[in-house]
Structure 1
Amino acid sequence: MNWLLNRLESFGSKTACIEAGKVWTFKEFLSAIETAKLNLGRGRVVTIETASTVEGLAQLIAIADTNRIALPLPPSLPDTERKRMRGIAQNSPLYDKLSGSGLILFSSGTSGEPKGMLHKLSALLNRFEPLPTRKDRTLQLLLIDHIGGLDAAFRCLFSGSTLIIPEARTPEDAGRAIETHKVNILPASPTFLNLMLMNSMHEHYDCSSVEIIAYGAEAMPAPLLQRLRASFPNADLQQKFGTSETGAVRIESQGSESLFFRIKDPDTEWKIIEDELWLKTPSRIIGYLNADESSLEADGWYRTGDLVEEGPNGSIRIIGRQSATINVGGQKVHPSEVEAVLLNVDGIDACHVYGEPDPITGQRVACRIFSSEEKDSLAWKRAIRNHCRGKLAPWKIPSNVTIGDQLSVNTRMKRD
């Protein structure tokens, strides 16, 4: 931890963060870390529940410096969930395997009960030590209870850059923050970026300062990537990749127009087994507090559950989650393939493809679409079938079409 505190101290009076109208210098941020150390209370596991991102980060670093375990919980979390997560984290045999500081993160629970994961916090932090000093401003949309939010915040702070926290995590507030603070780097999920386009945020606010749009957390549809390139012609679109179980993995995009990337991380090994990506990294979690550990191999490998397509020169493309695969009478359909076709239907701004039970085939393909055009579901079904004919196999064409009221994101900035 000495390198971390020394580096923050070296930035002195430079601006570390702007949040809720307050400008924090690195000197003030270090002072907040020292104050947090005095107020951590007792117990090995320390819960972080502040609504302030800056104060939460200060508490997290204070916990790391005192060799305890941090449990960040978002302020919007319902009391029942908060109590349950605290109970899961209260004690675990995994803590006996931990030397030094720890970090507990919970998954979003979109595919079941949220899984509590125990990280060795120093292993995550040490990956930021080689960062060069930079001068830019990064918009912070994800909270610090998410590995992507921590990665964006640490990457910014430990390089001497400035973190910009919007008033709220909406396209409107994001646009306002970009214009006001001349944000250079915009990390966001594809769904949130789509929301920004649907709300014409880039037309209502001056976004000319944006030099890099870093997207991740979920698969990016190719049609959306094309729309982003047209709307932000001067920005470099960079794909980011990582998992809650391993932390961020350094990759190299094949280009702004491509969804393929190469893993360029000296600390990470990777392989593909039956189209699934496996990773081996020193920052892999120690284990799950409340879930099956079959995805964690004894020799350090992690089976990500991400299906990938291999490209030229050792590149890969994320197709989507293995668990999202739809089985139509033995024929495998992945939602991302269908969504990429649907997003080229005139009038469809966003869509969600999923499987529904079917008494004959086991499952059938269904979709929910989002559009500003007023058509009934029957008219949309005809338009979709006409567009997909010849582009998709018959069993991949959605047989059930519903119209969504409004595209939204969950607390992890993924499609809700």
Structure 2
Amino acid sequence: MSIEFIKSKMREAGNANAVALGKTIITYQELTERLVYWQAYLANSPIPAGAVVSIKDDYSSDAIALFLALADHNAIVIPLSNDSATQFDEFSEIGQVEYEFFVENAEYQLKTTGLSAAHPIYDQIRERGAPGLVLFSSGSTGKSKAIVHDLSALLTKFTVSRNTMRTVLFLQFDHIGGINTLLYTLANSGMAIIPESRRPIMVCKAIELHQAEVLPTSPTFLNLLLLSGAADECDLSSLKLITYGTEPMPESTLNTMAQRFPDIKMLQTYGLSEVGILRSKSRDSNSLWVKVGGEDYQTKIVDGKLCIKSKSAMLGYLNAPSPFDAEGYMNTGDQVEQDGEWIRILGRESEIINVGGEKVYPAEVESVVLQLDGVEDVAVYGMKHPITGMTVAADIKITSDETLSQFKVRLRKHCAALIPGFKIPTKITLIEQYTHNARFKRMRRRSA
């Protein structure tokens, strides 16, 4: 499908608020006018249908309108947020970008790269006469993979009308969760609220100013929110729902959130750039058990790992083999526990630490460490050990003035009361920086 449904919803919404950036608000009528402008621009530009076009920008009314206009033009769109600036050249090369839009002196500029985008997956999209979308994996386990979607297949799921909500656009423009949030908001005449930055205080100020109802974010950000005290400086009473995903949620963080914000529903979400965002239902606000699926998805558990089949799955990678089996299922690599229809996500198979035959999931240990007073951030990973094969290591950011030796004593006493001895970190490094990346996702060292 094209973006006709969303364009129609935007016209119907008229003078309703569409996008807020800082104190500036634009209506759906104004957003529609920007869309019409960009449609006319593209019609008179050298960009043909099927061309690969990047947008180097963060959320703005023009970025949103240009994204929609490129989709309507049946271009293959590569959104690149400024968080990825150090990888722009890499992503442009992998994606074979032919045209790029970038901001200079507060105005969009168009550049022709001279590249020619030739790939069998791109050919599929062009033959369908459909728009495309390219996203990149985080690259935390190697080179980033270029994930190619038929954008019309992703758009189809938004034709079912759902709740109109005022939603914070926290997950970025080049993230499957960010695209999902944006399209859901526009398709349901909601208000997209863009914080001036993603520092906890600025997010809280945006929630207060625009009476946001939904905050989609990551567990790492929620931990920073709790530590920052920003929620005490702002009125967050408008918030009805916080959704969290992108990484396992530490149980201690979830429990603290539920206690601190008892009137806000906490909902765990699940999705991958390769298959999209599944509909989900948490057992309750302080439970890590969740149901995932929906009319467009099928799931199964194989050897303790979650596998997903999606109607809106990617067409493939530009630079890697297909991960789908003969039945169309993708092994996500996420280890899960199962209780009937409910699952609990334990962590990525690649991050499991095998200590003398015993499995240790980093998120479980991180949850325990985060309960200790004075701990601001932690990332747990495995290190080689001559006897047990592996041992548990942790990079920890603390707020106290303790020496490493003093902190180790306190940490081990704390952990010994809550987890078995083989899960207690034996190698501890005190760090100054946070362990998360620009997407507010915890980045652990590779097992060494």
Q: TM-score, normalised to structure 1's length?
A: 0.94
Q: How does 1:16-27 map to 2 (within 5 A)?
A: 16-27=18-29
Match of 2:10 in 1: 8
CA positional deviation for 1:153 = 1.4
Deviates more, 1:48-57 or 1:398-407: 48-57
Equivalence for 1:130 = 160
Query: Alignment length, in residue pairs?
Result: 412
Q: Does 1:77 align with 2:84?
A: yes
User: Which segment drifts farther, 64-73 or 331-340?
Assistant: 331-340
**Inter-partner Cα distance in structure 2 for 1:133 and 1:235:** 17
From 294, 299, 319, give the equivalent of 2:346.
319
Q: Distance in 1 between matches of 2:62 and 2:442?
A: 28
Q: Is the 8 A contact 2:293 2:299 kept in 1?
A: no
Whole-angstrom distance in 1 between the partners of 2:298 and 2:168: 30
1:170 matched to 2:172? The reply is: no
Verify the 8 A CA contact 2:171 2:177 in the aligned structure 1: yes
Distance 1:395 1:228 in 2: 29
Q: Would you say the 8 A contact 2:6–2:186 is kept in 1? A: no
Amino acid at match of 1:306: D
The offset of 1:408, in angstroms, is 5.5
- Amino acid paired to 2:132: G
CA contact 2:201–2:231 (8 Å) conserved in 1:
no
Aligned to 2:53: 46
Structure 2 Cα separation of the partners of residues 140 and 336 of structure 1: 26
Letter in 1 for 2:135: L
Alpha carbons of structure 1 residues 290 and 137: separation in structure 2 relative to 1, 3 Å: same
CA displacement 1:124-163 (0-9 Å, x = unmatched): 11111102252x3211112110001111111212111111
* Distance in 1 separating the partners of 2:311 and 2:177: 17
**Are the equivalent residues in 2 in contact too, given 1:142–1:412 (CA < 8 A)?**
yes
**Does the 8 Å CA contact 1:324/1:335 hold for their aligned counterparts?**
yes
Question: Aligned residue for 2:331?
Answer: 303
Q: Distance in 2 between matches of 1:149 and 1:357?
A: 37
Say whether 1:337 aligns with 2:364.
yes
Contact map agreement 2:58 2:172 (CA 8 A) in 1 = no
1:242 Cα offset (Å): 0.8
SS of the counterpart of 1:195?
helix
What is the one-letter code of the residue matched to 2:38? A
In structure 1, how many angstroms separate the alpha carbons of the residues matched to 2:352 and 2:267?
26
Distance 1:408 1:35, change over 3 A: farther
Alpha-carbon distance in structure 2 between the residues aligned to 1:149 and 1:257: 24
Residues in 1 aligned to 2:59 and 2:416: alpha-carbon distance in whole angstroms: 51
Distance 1:362 1:97 in 2: 47
Q: 1:348 aligns with which of 350, 375, 378?
A: 375
User: Within 2, Cα distance between the matches of 1:140 and 1:319?
Assistant: 27
- State the partner residue of 1:389: 416
2:286 to 257, 263, 275: 257
Number of the residue aligned with 1:198: 227
Is the Cα contact below 8 Å between 1:115 and 1:288 reproduced in 2? yes
Asked whether 1:65 is paired with 2:72, we answer yes
Structure 1 vs Structure 2 CA RMSD: 1.8
8 Å contact kept, 2:218–2:246: yes
Q: Is the 8 A contact 2:351 2:361 kept in 1?
A: yes
Please show how residues 356-375 of structure 1 align to structure 2 within 5 Å.
Answer: 356-375=383-402
Determine if contact 1:147/1:248 at 8 Å carries over to the other structure: yes
| Cα distance in 2, alignment partners of residues 70 and 162 from structure 1 | 23
User: Are the counterparts in 2 of residues 64 and 121 from structure 1 also a CA contact under 8 Å?
Assistant: yes
2:83, 2:364 → 1: CA distance? 34
Map Cα deviations across residues 277-303 of structure 1 (whole Å, 9 max, x no partner).
00001111110111232x222322111
Give the distance between the partners of 2:141 and 2:296, measured in 1 at CA. Answer: 29
Task: Give distance in 1, aligned partners of 2:326 and 2:11.
Answer: 39
Q: Does 1:107 pair with 2:113? A: no
Alpha carbons 1:116, 1:289 under 8 Å: kept: yes
Residues 19 and 164 of structure 1 are in contact (CA less than 8 Å); yes or no, is this contact kept in structure 2? yes
Letter in structure 2 aligned against 1:16: A
Counterparts of residues 146-161 of structure 1 (less than 5 Å) = 146-161=175-190
**Structure 1 unaligned spans of 5+:** none
Q: In structure 1, what is the equivalent of residue 110 of structure 2?
A: none
CA distance in 2 between partners of 1:314 and 1:77 (Å): 37
Cα shift at 1:398:
0.7
Distance 1:187 1:232 in 2: 15
* Cα shift readout 1:178-211 (whole Å, capped 9, x = no counterpart): 1211211111101011111111011111112211
Tell me which of 241, 245, 263 is aligned to 2:270: 241
Are the structure 2 counterparts of residues 137 and 345 from structure 1 closer, same or farther at C-alpha, using a change threshold of 3 Å?
Answer: same
Structure 2 portions without partners, runs of 5+ = 97-116, 444-448
State whether structure 2 residue 32 is matched by structure 1 residue 30. Answer: yes
Look up the SS of the partner of 2:81 in the other structure. coil
Within the candidate set 77, 85, 94, 1:88 is matched to 94
Q: CA deviation at 1:258?
A: 0.7
SS where residue 175 of structure 1 aligns? helix
Structure-2 separation of matches of 1:332 and 1:118: 34
Q: 1:202·1:231 contact (CA, 8 Å) conserved in 2?
A: no
Aligned pair 1:189/2:189, yes or no? no
Contact 1:261 1:317 in 2 (8 A): yes
Measure how far apart 1:353 and its partner are. 0.9
Preserved contact between residue 53 and residue 143 of structure 1 (Cα < 8 Å): no
Q: Is the 8 A contact 2:378 2:435 kept in 1?
A: no
CA distance in 1, matches of 2:163, 2:426: 53
**AA of the residue aligned to 1:385:** R
TM-score where L is the length of structure 2: 0.87
Residue 404 of structure 1: how far off its partner (Å): 2.6
Q: Residue 56 of structure 1 aligns with which residue?
A: 63
Q: Report the residue type matching 2:260 in the other structure.
A: S
Cα drift, residue 389 of structure 1 = 2.5
